[in-house]
């Protein structure tokens, strides 16, 4: 649609800018363009400038890109389900003051600054009142990952004794990000007689989202075995057997 210049002139509300231009007077689209160019930390800062900017800076469409960029490679459906579980547990705990996890209280107070002490309040009404995003916004998830408060499931490539033979194998694990070192803390689940193992300083390169959305304890049934051709790369699962951690069957005892 093309408007004539005079129509545009009438449409625009920028003519009384003598008192100093504010970014809030910018047309919606222009402000959006600026916000789209801001990295996550700046979006957070902008959200702290005033309520009107906060309303904009918390919207999912601005965070989706950042989420994908930083976390897309290591976050899979399992991690998303885990996040949803966290959110749901927060809901359950809403009426029980003792039970709320500390980190969640902090997240809560961030998004519901005026209402976090009244957790039963209707989130939708609150969001209108204070222009805050729902707790299940992408921003809240991004921040929970970024600050390491949220442990997410992913797979970690093995570095067992640097033996090349095993470096292609990986474990299912629970991970927490450490911003200071740009690396991860890892908790490997207990398997049979093996206790929970932990590792820290695990770099991004050793992570991947599970290629299949199957629990570490279940066998994944491949539906493409008939299509396998010579030269194809295949992955073998050593799951199912609870006596031993998967992925370690062929390592001699002397390695431990």
Partner 1 sequence: MSSSTDSPTLTTETTQLSPQPDTETAKPTKKITLKSSDNQIFEVEESVAMEFATVKSFFEDSPSTDTVPLPNVTAKPLSQVIEFCKEQIKFKANPDEAQKKKYNAEFVTEKSDKDLVDMIPVANYLEIKDLLDVLNQAVADRIENKSVEYVRSFFGIDNDFTAEEEAALRREHAWAYEGVDED
Q: How far apart are CB 146 and partner 1 at their closest, in Å?
A: 7
Cβ atoms of 238 and 249 within 8 Å: the answer is: yes
Stretch that binds partner 1, among 7-15, 66-74, 118-126, 219-227 (CB under 8 A): 7-15
Cα 64 from chain centre: 10
Q: How far apart are CB 218 and partner 1 at their closest, in Å?
A: 36
Would you say 5 or 221 has its CB closer to partner 1? 5
Residues 71-130 that bind partner 1 (CB under 8 A): 106-107, 109-110, 113-114, 116
195 binds partner 1 (CB under 8 A): no
Stretch that binds partner 1, among 3-11, 81-89, 150-158, 188-196 (CB under 8 A): 3-11
Would you say 27 or 165 has its CB closer to partner 1? 27
Q: How far apart are CB 216 and partner 1 at their closest, in Å?
A: 30
Would you say 13 or 226 has its CB closer to partner 1? 13
Cβ atoms of 171 and 245 within 8 Å: the answer is: yes
200 binds partner 1 (CB under 8 A): no
105 φ/ψ angles, rounded to the nearest 5 degrees: -60, -40
Stretch that binds partner 1, among 29-37, 68-76, 190-198, 213-221 (CB under 8 A): 29-37
20 binds partner 1 (CB under 8 A): yes
Which of 64, 146, 178, 199 is close enough to bind partner 1 by CB under 8 A?
A: 146
Q: How far apart are CB 213 and partner 1 at their closest, in Å?
A: 30
Strands lying side by side in the sheet with 170-178: 197-202, 183-188, 170-178, 152-157, 207-208
Would you say 63 or 171 has its CB closer to partner 1? 63
Q: How far apart are CB 70 and partner 1 at their closest, in Å?
A: 13
How many chain residues are in contact with partner 1, going by CB under 8 A?
49
> Under the rule (CB under 8 A), what is the footprint of partner 1?
2-6, 8-9, 12, 14-15, 17, 20-27, 30, 33-34, 37-42, 44-53, 106-107, 109-110, 113-114, 116, 143, 146-147, 179
């Amino acid at each position: 649609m093309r408007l004539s210049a005079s129509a545009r002139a009438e449409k625009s509300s920028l003519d009384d800018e003598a008192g100093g231009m504010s970014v809030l007077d910018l047309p919606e689209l222009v402000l959006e363009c600026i916000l789209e160019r801001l990295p996550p930390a700046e979006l957070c800062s902008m959200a702290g400038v005033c309520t009107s900017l906060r309303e904009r800076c918390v919207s999912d469409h601005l965070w989706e890109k950042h989420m994908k960029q930083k976390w897309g490679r290591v976050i899979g459906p399992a991690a998303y389900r885990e996040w949803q579980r966290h959110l749901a547990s927060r809901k359950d705990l809403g009426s029980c003051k003792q039970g709320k996890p500390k980190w969640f209280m902090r997240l809560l107070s961030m998004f519901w600054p005026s209402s976090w002490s009244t957790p039963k309040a209707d989130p939708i009404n609150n969001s209108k009142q204070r222009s805050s995003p729902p707790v299940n916004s992408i921003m809240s998830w991004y921040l929970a990952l970024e600050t390491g408060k949220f442990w997410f499931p992913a797979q970690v490539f093995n570095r067992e004794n640097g033996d090349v033979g095993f470096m292609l194998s990986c474990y299912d694990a629970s991970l927490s990000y450490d911003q200071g070192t740009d690396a991860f803390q890892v908790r490997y689940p207990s398997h049979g007689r093996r206790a929970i193992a932990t590792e820290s300083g695990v770099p991004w390169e050793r992570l991947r989202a599970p290629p299949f959305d199957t629990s570490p304890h279940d066998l994944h049934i491949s539906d493409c075995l008939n299509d396998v051709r010579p030269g194809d790369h295949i992955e073998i699962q050593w799951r199912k057997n609870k006596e031993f951690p998967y992925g370690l069957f062929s390592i001699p005892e002397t390695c431990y």
